[in-house]
Each structure stands twice: as structure tokens, then as C-alpha cells.
Structure 1
């Protein structure tokens, strides 16, 4: 049987949000700080700006080194594809025109604080997950489901940490 990539090719997404008692301007410096990302993530181990970039701006690129117990170690280059201070910060992993994944924070002012959402999309380009799907094409739906649940758990952890950081700063 040949892998058709139907579930993965549909670019499944996952998101979560949290109310944070801090204005978007305070949260912005956390969500747009790529060097904070490894502290938030169980997988991402290290990041560095590329091409002389020193901060967030659409088109700027950064390298990330990651590790996962089932997927091994890998390195990617991401491009910031959405950077509107203090509203949205997003990056595409791999080729921005055909990414392996896309990640985005959206900051919505609400009352005296912010509703912070983190969103992620798998695909459409192949990634390390594709190797598992190609090896077990009949389990594609389960493999994608498990990976999205991992993303969701990571996102919820990120939001909790960002909430703690921003609210502690008062």
C-alpha cells in the first residue's frame, strides 16, 4: 500500500487559548522572543537567528534544534511569516510557501488583559512525521491524531508559562 497522505495533506490544526491579566504589549515581548521558545517547549532545544537578524520581523529566519523520543533529533529553519506587534507572531517551519508546519500566537485585547491563542498546523510539506506515516500508512489517522495531541499539550503548557511570566511582572 502506498501512502497517500490524505489526513496529513489536509493540514490539520490545533489551538488553545488562555486569558492573561496583562496587556498585549507586555505579552508581545514574550511571544515574539524566539530565545524563550526552548524554555517553553519539551522538544525545541535551541534556537538562533540567521542572516544577521537580531529580532522578530516578517521574513527573518531562525534555526531550531529539536529532539523527540520517537522522532529523534533534527534541525529546521523557520521564517517569520506574520509579525504585527502586538497582535500576531507566526512562523513557518521549512519553506514558507510549502511548510512542514506553521505556528502562530494571536493576542486579542480583552477587558484589562489579553486572550492569548497559540495555533499550529501540520503540513502540507513532509516532515519527520511523514517517515512514521510512510512506514505505517494504515495508521496515518492515529499517528496524526497523536502528534496533534502532543502539539496541544505543548501549547497548553506554553500558555500556562506565558501567563505566569506576564502576570508575575505586574
Structure 2
């Protein structure tokens, strides 16, 4: 079984992927480690204090390395950017306020926090996943309040066919409230 976990940074992807890997006994590939190991960079962004990933090269190398793997879990926020062979695609979502808190704890620069929170508010990872994967394979998982263990059980129910839908996540009311508060 081929599983992709994507979503905003600090949404809980890595934690869920590790626990899912243990439960299913599938090998786990953390995209960030893979990118560093294979040196798949096209530059450095000083403003964001981050290396810029060459997405085309990343897709190519992932397919070379893992394209034929029958059982694998791939985890990383860039996995929404291009299609890979997958049985399930889980887009991990998190309330913007929780994301801000998590990112601050990890020392993210203000610019990166703002960009990532805006991406979450605008459903960026979910929209991009829908552009790159079959809709029937994509499930949103809200990691804001449910524990990682409960989310893993939720995901396993989807995989086993016991649950037909993921969570319905929509931060548009939140986005509207924030926009309106700026006007007053």
C-alpha cells in the first residue's frame, strides 16, 4: 500500500507518519531527509532562511528510488505539488492558531509563519493535492484537537474501508473574520 501524507509545516504529518509506519510496518520516507540526502536544492532563500527545493528533480528522484515500492509511506509538505503513484493521500490540516503556536516553538521566522498560515487558511495543500491526485484517494485529517493516536486510528479506518470520508476542514469563516477585523 502506497500512502502519501502532506499538509502545512507543523500540521502533524511527521508524527502521524511515524505512528502509521509502526502500525502498518511500512517503510517511511521523510521528504526533508530525502531532499538533504540527495541534495535536491536549486538555491537558498535568505528571506525565509531556507533552501529552495528543485521540485521537478525531487519528483524524478522519488520515482527512481521508490516508484516500484509496493508498501511505502511518503511524508512531506511538498508532496501535494506533483503526482505520485498512491493508494491514499492524506492532507493533514491544523487550525491556523495552533500552527502559529507550533511554528513559534520551532523558531520559524515571522515571514515563514505568515506564509504557511495563509497557505493553511487558503486550503493550499488540499487544493494542490486535488490537482495532482485522484479525488477518491484524497482525505483531509484535522490534527488540531484529536490526538495523534486517534488520528492514526481514524486513518486506519479509512484504509480498511470502515470510514468513507476524512474530515471536512474549512477555515474560510476564520479567514473572513480576520479580514473583516482588519477593516475595523
TM-score, length-normalised on structure 2?
Answer: 0.26
More helix by share: 2
